Amino acid sequence: MRLIPLPKQILKCGRLSLDLSKPHVMGILNVTPDSFSDGGAHNEKDQAVQHALQMIEDGATVIDIGGESTRPGASPVSIEEEIRRVVPVVEALSQYDVVLSIDTSEPQVIREAVKAGAHIWNDVRALTRPHALATAAALNIPIMIMHMRGEPTTMNNLDQYDDVTLEVIVELQKRVDDALAAGVKAENIMIDPGFGFAKNAQQNLKLLQEFYKLNEMGYPILSALSRKRFIGEALNGADAQHRAVGSVAAHLMSIQQGACMVRAHDVKATHDAILMWQAMQQA
Ligand code: 8Y7
Protein backbone atom coordinates (compact mmCIF):
# COMPACT_ATOMS: atom_id res chain seq x y z
CA MET A 1 0.00 0.00 0.00
CA ARG A 2 1.35 3.41 -1.00
CA LEU A 3 -0.62 6.67 -1.36
CA ILE A 4 -0.59 7.95 -4.96
CA PRO A 5 -2.21 11.16 -6.28
CA LEU A 6 -4.63 10.80 -9.20
CA PRO A 7 -3.39 11.74 -12.70
CA LYS A 8 -3.71 15.31 -14.00
CA GLN A 9 -5.47 14.10 -17.11
CA ILE A 10 -8.71 14.83 -18.94
CA LEU A 11 -10.26 11.85 -20.72
CA LYS A 12 -12.03 12.96 -23.89
CA CYS A 13 -15.32 11.09 -24.34
CA GLY A 14 -16.96 12.57 -27.45
CA ARG A 15 -18.83 15.77 -26.45
CA LEU A 16 -18.15 14.93 -22.77
CA SER A 17 -14.90 14.72 -20.81
CA LEU A 18 -13.81 13.28 -17.48
CA ASP A 19 -11.36 15.02 -15.16
CA LEU A 20 -9.36 12.03 -13.92
CA SER A 21 -7.70 14.01 -11.13
CA LYS A 22 -10.93 13.19 -9.25
CA PRO A 23 -12.25 9.67 -8.72
CA HIS A 24 -15.24 8.60 -10.83
CA VAL A 25 -17.87 5.98 -10.15
CA MET A 26 -18.75 3.77 -13.11
CA GLY A 27 -22.17 2.29 -12.35
CA ILE A 28 -22.77 -1.28 -13.52
CA LEU A 29 -25.79 -1.80 -15.77
CA ASN A 30 -26.29 -5.42 -16.73
CA VAL A 31 -28.78 -5.82 -19.55
CA THR A 32 -28.74 -9.59 -19.27
CA PRO A 33 -31.40 -12.02 -18.05
CA ASP A 34 -28.80 -14.11 -16.17
CA SER A 35 -26.52 -11.55 -14.48
CA PHE A 36 -25.65 -12.79 -11.02
CA SER A 37 -25.87 -9.67 -8.89
CA ASP A 38 -29.20 -8.16 -9.89
CA GLY A 39 -30.92 -11.39 -10.87
CA GLY A 40 -31.97 -10.05 -14.27
CA ALA A 41 -34.24 -7.47 -12.69
CA HIS A 42 -33.12 -4.89 -15.25
CA ASN A 43 -33.33 -6.93 -18.44
CA GLU A 44 -36.15 -4.84 -19.86
CA LYS A 45 -35.04 -1.65 -21.57
CA ASP A 46 -37.16 0.71 -19.47
CA GLN A 47 -36.02 -0.89 -16.23
CA ALA A 48 -32.41 -0.64 -17.38
CA VAL A 49 -32.80 3.05 -18.17
CA GLN A 50 -34.52 3.68 -14.82
CA HIS A 51 -31.70 1.92 -13.01
CA ALA A 52 -29.11 3.99 -14.90
CA LEU A 53 -30.90 7.25 -14.03
CA GLN A 54 -30.92 6.24 -10.37
CA MET A 55 -27.16 5.55 -10.53
CA ILE A 56 -26.59 8.98 -12.12
CA GLU A 57 -28.57 10.59 -9.30
CA ASP A 58 -26.47 8.60 -6.83
CA GLY A 59 -23.23 10.00 -8.26
CA ALA A 60 -22.19 7.84 -11.22
CA THR A 61 -20.49 9.81 -13.99
CA VAL A 62 -20.04 6.72 -16.16
CA ILE A 63 -22.49 3.88 -16.85
CA ASP A 64 -21.05 0.53 -17.96
CA ILE A 65 -23.64 -1.22 -20.13
CA GLY A 66 -23.22 -4.95 -20.66
CA GLY A 67 -25.33 -7.35 -22.71
CA GLU A 68 -23.14 -10.44 -22.33
CA SER A 69 -22.54 -12.00 -18.93
CA THR A 70 -18.84 -12.60 -18.31
CA ARG A 71 -19.66 -14.71 -15.26
CA PRO A 72 -17.93 -18.12 -15.47
CA GLY A 73 -20.43 -20.65 -16.83
CA ALA A 74 -22.82 -18.04 -18.24
CA SER A 75 -24.44 -19.01 -21.53
CA PRO A 76 -22.90 -17.38 -24.62
CA VAL A 77 -24.89 -14.64 -26.35
CA SER A 78 -25.06 -14.03 -30.12
CA ILE A 79 -23.76 -10.73 -31.49
CA GLU A 80 -27.28 -9.87 -32.69
CA GLU A 81 -28.70 -10.48 -29.21
CA GLU A 82 -25.98 -8.38 -27.59
CA ILE A 83 -26.75 -5.50 -29.97
CA ARG A 84 -30.49 -5.92 -29.37
CA ARG A 85 -29.96 -5.63 -25.61
CA VAL A 86 -27.42 -2.80 -25.55
CA VAL A 87 -28.21 -0.35 -28.37
CA PRO A 88 -31.72 0.76 -27.27
CA VAL A 89 -30.38 1.48 -23.78
CA VAL A 90 -27.51 3.53 -25.24
CA GLU A 91 -29.97 5.47 -27.42
CA ALA A 92 -32.14 6.29 -24.42
CA LEU A 93 -29.21 7.33 -22.19
CA SER A 94 -27.29 9.30 -24.82
CA GLN A 95 -29.52 12.34 -24.18
CA TYR A 96 -28.07 12.65 -20.64
CA ASP A 97 -24.71 14.11 -19.64
CA VAL A 98 -23.25 10.79 -18.61
CA VAL A 99 -20.40 8.87 -20.15
CA LEU A 100 -21.53 5.55 -21.61
CA SER A 101 -19.15 2.61 -21.50
CA ILE A 102 -19.91 -0.65 -23.29
CA ASP A 103 -18.88 -3.95 -21.76
CA THR A 104 -18.31 -6.08 -24.85
CA SER A 105 -15.55 -7.92 -26.67
CA GLU A 106 -17.25 -7.80 -30.06
CA PRO A 107 -16.17 -5.16 -32.61
CA GLN A 108 -19.63 -5.20 -34.22
CA VAL A 109 -21.32 -4.49 -30.90
CA ILE A 110 -19.08 -1.55 -30.02
CA ARG A 111 -19.45 -0.10 -33.52
CA GLU A 112 -23.25 -0.16 -33.29
CA ALA A 113 -23.15 1.18 -29.73
CA VAL A 114 -20.89 4.09 -30.71
CA LYS A 115 -23.24 4.94 -33.58
CA ALA A 116 -26.00 5.11 -30.96
CA GLY A 117 -23.96 7.43 -28.70
CA ALA A 118 -21.61 5.29 -26.59
CA HIS A 119 -18.21 6.68 -25.54
CA ILE A 120 -15.92 4.05 -23.98
CA TRP A 121 -15.08 0.46 -24.94
CA ASN A 122 -14.69 -1.74 -21.88
CA ASP A 123 -13.23 -5.01 -23.16
CA VAL A 124 -12.45 -7.72 -20.59
CA ARG A 125 -10.74 -9.62 -23.45
CA ALA A 126 -8.42 -6.64 -24.08
CA LEU A 127 -8.94 -6.41 -27.85
CA THR A 128 -8.14 -10.05 -28.61
CA ARG A 129 -11.20 -10.90 -30.74
CA PRO A 130 -10.73 -10.75 -34.55
CA HIS A 131 -10.64 -7.12 -35.83
CA ALA A 132 -10.84 -5.72 -32.28
CA LEU A 133 -7.51 -3.86 -32.46
CA ALA A 134 -8.27 -2.26 -35.84
CA THR A 135 -11.78 -1.34 -34.68
CA ALA A 136 -10.45 0.30 -31.53
CA ALA A 137 -7.99 2.37 -33.56
CA ALA A 138 -10.62 3.38 -36.12
CA LEU A 139 -13.24 4.37 -33.54
CA ASN A 140 -10.73 6.61 -31.72
CA ILE A 141 -12.52 6.28 -28.37
CA PRO A 142 -11.21 5.51 -24.87
CA ILE A 143 -10.52 1.79 -24.38
CA MET A 144 -10.43 -0.06 -21.08
CA ILE A 145 -7.75 -2.74 -21.38
CA MET A 146 -8.23 -5.40 -18.70
CA HIS A 147 -5.94 -8.18 -17.59
CA MET A 148 -7.22 -11.73 -17.92
CA ARG A 149 -5.81 -15.09 -18.91
CA GLY A 150 -7.80 -17.36 -21.20
CA GLU A 151 -11.57 -16.94 -21.33
CA PRO A 152 -14.13 -16.60 -18.51
CA THR A 153 -14.80 -20.34 -18.97
CA THR A 154 -11.13 -21.38 -18.64
CA MET A 155 -9.55 -18.63 -16.53
CA ASN A 156 -9.99 -20.36 -13.17
CA ASN A 157 -7.30 -22.91 -14.10
CA LEU A 158 -4.82 -20.23 -15.19
CA ASP A 159 -4.01 -18.67 -11.82
CA GLN A 160 -0.36 -19.74 -11.60
CA TYR A 161 1.81 -16.72 -10.72
CA ASP A 162 5.19 -16.28 -9.00
CA ASP A 163 4.49 -12.56 -8.50
CA VAL A 164 0.91 -11.73 -9.42
CA THR A 165 1.28 -7.92 -9.61
CA LEU A 166 4.45 -8.04 -11.67
CA GLU A 167 3.01 -10.60 -14.10
CA VAL A 168 -0.26 -8.68 -14.45
CA ILE A 169 1.74 -5.56 -15.34
CA VAL A 170 3.91 -7.41 -17.88
CA GLU A 171 0.89 -9.09 -19.50
CA LEU A 172 -1.16 -5.87 -19.52
CA GLN A 173 1.78 -4.01 -21.09
CA LYS A 174 1.80 -6.56 -23.91
CA ARG A 175 -1.88 -5.85 -24.64
CA VAL A 176 -1.20 -2.09 -24.44
CA ASP A 177 1.75 -2.45 -26.84
CA ASP A 178 -0.43 -4.38 -29.32
CA ALA A 179 -3.06 -1.65 -29.11
CA LEU A 180 -0.50 1.12 -29.68
CA ALA A 181 1.02 -0.80 -32.61
CA ALA A 182 -2.46 -1.10 -34.14
CA GLY A 183 -2.88 2.68 -33.97
CA VAL A 184 -4.78 3.15 -30.71
CA LYS A 185 -3.75 6.51 -29.24
CA ALA A 186 -2.04 6.47 -25.84
CA GLU A 187 -4.47 9.17 -24.66
CA ASN A 188 -7.35 6.71 -25.24
CA ILE A 189 -5.91 3.90 -23.10
CA MET A 190 -7.04 3.02 -19.60
CA ILE A 191 -5.88 -0.09 -17.75
CA ASP A 192 -7.50 -2.47 -15.28
CA PRO A 193 -5.80 -5.40 -13.46
CA GLY A 194 -8.96 -7.53 -13.79
CA PHE A 195 -9.74 -8.53 -10.21
CA GLY A 196 -11.20 -12.04 -10.17
CA PHE A 197 -10.14 -12.90 -13.71
CA ALA A 198 -7.67 -15.81 -13.55
CA LYS A 199 -6.73 -14.88 -9.97
CA ASN A 200 -7.51 -16.65 -6.72
CA ALA A 201 -8.58 -14.91 -3.52
CA GLN A 202 -5.05 -14.54 -2.16
CA GLN A 203 -3.80 -13.14 -5.48
CA ASN A 204 -6.66 -10.61 -5.64
CA LEU A 205 -5.76 -9.41 -2.14
CA LYS A 206 -2.07 -9.14 -3.06
CA LEU A 207 -3.01 -7.18 -6.18
CA LEU A 208 -5.08 -4.80 -4.08
CA GLN A 209 -2.22 -4.38 -1.59
CA GLU A 210 0.21 -3.61 -4.43
CA PHE A 211 -2.26 -1.73 -6.62
CA TYR A 212 -0.03 1.39 -6.61
CA LYS A 213 2.52 -0.47 -8.73
CA LEU A 214 0.18 -0.24 -11.74
CA ASN A 215 0.88 3.52 -11.86
CA GLU A 216 4.32 2.81 -13.31
CA MET A 217 2.59 1.90 -16.60
CA GLY A 218 1.59 5.55 -16.99
CA TYR A 219 -2.09 5.08 -17.88
CA PRO A 220 -5.25 5.94 -15.94
CA ILE A 221 -6.38 2.96 -13.85
CA LEU A 222 -9.82 1.48 -13.22
CA SER A 223 -10.49 -0.85 -10.34
CA ALA A 224 -13.48 -3.17 -10.53
CA LEU A 225 -13.91 -5.01 -7.26
CA SER A 226 -17.65 -4.76 -6.78
CA ARG A 227 -19.20 -7.75 -4.94
CA LYS A 228 -16.49 -10.08 -6.26
CA ARG A 229 -16.11 -13.52 -4.74
CA PHE A 230 -12.83 -12.81 -2.92
CA ILE A 231 -14.59 -9.97 -1.11
CA GLY A 232 -17.27 -12.44 -0.01
CA GLU A 233 -14.51 -14.71 1.27
CA ALA A 234 -12.88 -11.87 3.20
CA LEU A 235 -16.30 -11.20 4.74
CA ASN A 236 -16.54 -14.74 6.12
CA GLY A 237 -18.62 -16.02 3.21
CA ALA A 238 -21.05 -13.13 2.66
CA ASP A 239 -23.17 -13.62 -0.48
CA ALA A 240 -23.21 -11.08 -3.35
CA GLN A 241 -26.07 -9.04 -1.86
CA HIS A 242 -24.06 -8.51 1.33
CA ARG A 243 -20.73 -7.40 -0.13
CA ALA A 244 -21.46 -3.67 -0.60
CA VAL A 245 -19.54 -2.38 2.42
CA GLY A 246 -16.56 -4.64 1.73
CA SER A 247 -16.58 -3.50 -1.89
CA VAL A 248 -16.66 0.18 -0.90
CA ALA A 249 -13.71 -0.37 1.45
CA ALA A 250 -11.72 -2.17 -1.25
CA HIS A 251 -12.50 0.49 -3.86
CA LEU A 252 -11.35 3.24 -1.52
CA MET A 253 -8.07 1.37 -0.92
CA SER A 254 -7.55 1.32 -4.70
CA ILE A 255 -8.41 5.02 -5.10
CA GLN A 256 -5.80 5.90 -2.47
CA GLN A 257 -3.30 4.00 -4.61
CA GLY A 258 -4.15 5.78 -7.86
CA ALA A 259 -7.43 4.38 -9.27
CA CYS A 260 -9.32 7.27 -10.89
CA MET A 261 -12.39 5.18 -11.66
CA VAL A 262 -14.16 2.39 -9.81
CA ARG A 263 -16.77 0.06 -11.32
CA ALA A 264 -19.53 -0.48 -8.79
CA HIS A 265 -23.00 -1.89 -8.28
CA ASP A 266 -23.55 0.14 -5.09
CA VAL A 267 -23.11 3.64 -6.48
CA LYS A 268 -24.48 5.75 -3.61
CA ALA A 269 -22.35 4.05 -0.95
CA THR A 270 -19.27 4.21 -3.18
CA HIS A 271 -19.85 7.89 -3.97
CA ASP A 272 -20.34 8.72 -0.27
CA ALA A 273 -17.00 7.08 0.56
CA ILE A 274 -15.32 9.15 -2.15
CA LEU A 275 -16.93 12.38 -0.87
CA MET A 276 -15.65 11.59 2.62
CA TRP A 277 -12.15 10.90 1.31
CA GLN A 278 -12.15 14.15 -0.72
CA ALA A 279 -13.37 16.17 2.26
CA MET A 280 -10.51 14.84 4.38
CA GLN A 281 -7.98 15.57 1.65
CA GLN A 282 -9.11 19.19 1.32
CA ALA A 283 -8.84 19.85 5.07
C1 8Y7 B 1 -14.87 -6.44 -14.80
C2 8Y7 B 1 -15.44 -5.88 -15.95
C3 8Y7 B 1 -16.71 -7.48 -15.19
C4 8Y7 B 1 -13.62 -5.92 -14.36
C5 8Y7 B 1 -13.71 -4.39 -16.21
C6 8Y7 B 1 -18.17 -8.75 -12.41
C7 8Y7 B 1 -17.48 -6.32 -17.30
C8 8Y7 B 1 -17.82 -9.49 -13.61
N9 8Y7 B 1 -15.68 -7.41 -14.33
N10 8Y7 B 1 -14.87 -4.87 -16.66
N11 8Y7 B 1 -16.58 -6.55 -16.19
N12 8Y7 B 1 -13.09 -4.90 -15.09
N13 8Y7 B 1 -13.09 -3.39 -16.87
O14 8Y7 B 1 -17.99 -9.37 -11.32
O15 8Y7 B 1 -13.02 -6.37 -13.38
O16 8Y7 B 1 -18.65 -7.60 -12.44
S17 8Y7 B 1 -18.06 -8.60 -15.13
| 165 in a structural domain | yes
| 13 in a structural domain | no
Interval between CA 222 and ligand 1 midpoint (Å): 10
| 171 in a structural domain | yes
- The rounded distance, in Å, linking the Cα atoms of 174 and 88 is 34
Please say if 22 is a catalytic residue.
no
Choice among 213, 243, 263, 268 that is catalytic = 263
| 10 in a structural domain | no
User: What CATH number does the domain containing 278 carry?
Assistant: 3.20.20.20
Per DSSP, helices labelled H in 116-200 are: 132-139, 164-181
Nearest-CA neighbor of 114 among 184, 192, 13? Answer: 13
Choice among 149, 227, 228, 243 that is catalytic = 228
| 33 in a structural domain | yes
- Phi and psi, residue 141, nearest 5°: -125, 160
Q: Give 184: exposed, middle or buried? Use CB within 10 Å, 0-12, 13-18, 19+.
A: buried
Q: Is the CB of 70 under 6 A from ligand 1?
A: yes
Q: Is the CB of 144 under 6 A from ligand 1?
A: yes
- The rounded distance, in Å, linking the Cα atoms of 243 and 229 is 9
- pLDDT per position as a tens digit, 42-78: 447 999 999 999 999 999 999 999 998 877 667 789 9
pTM: 0.96
Q: Which residues partner with 145 through β-bridges?
A: 123, 191
**pLDDT > 50? residue 36:** no
Please say if 228 is a catalytic residue.
yes
Please list, in sequence order, all residues whose beta carbon lies within 8 angstroms of the beta carbon of residue 168, skipping any fewer than 6 positions away. Answer: 147, 193, 194, 207, 214
Number of domains comprising the chain: 1
Q: Is the CB of 192 under 6 A from ligand 1?
A: yes
Q: What is the mean pLDDT of residues 146-163?
A: 94
Q: Contact 135/107 with Cβ under 8 angstroms?
A: yes
| 9 in a structural domain | no
- pLDDT per position as a tens digit, 96-142: 999 999 999 999 999 999 999 999 999 999 999 999 999 999 999 99
| 7 in a structural domain | no
Interval between CA 124 and ligand 1 midpoint (Å): 7
Interval between CA 80 and ligand 1 midpoint (Å): 22
Q: Which domain holds residue 234?
A: 22-282
| 17 in a structural domain | no
Residue 18 pLDDT level (bands cut at 50, 70, 90): very high
Interval between CA 93 and ligand 1 midpoint (Å): 21
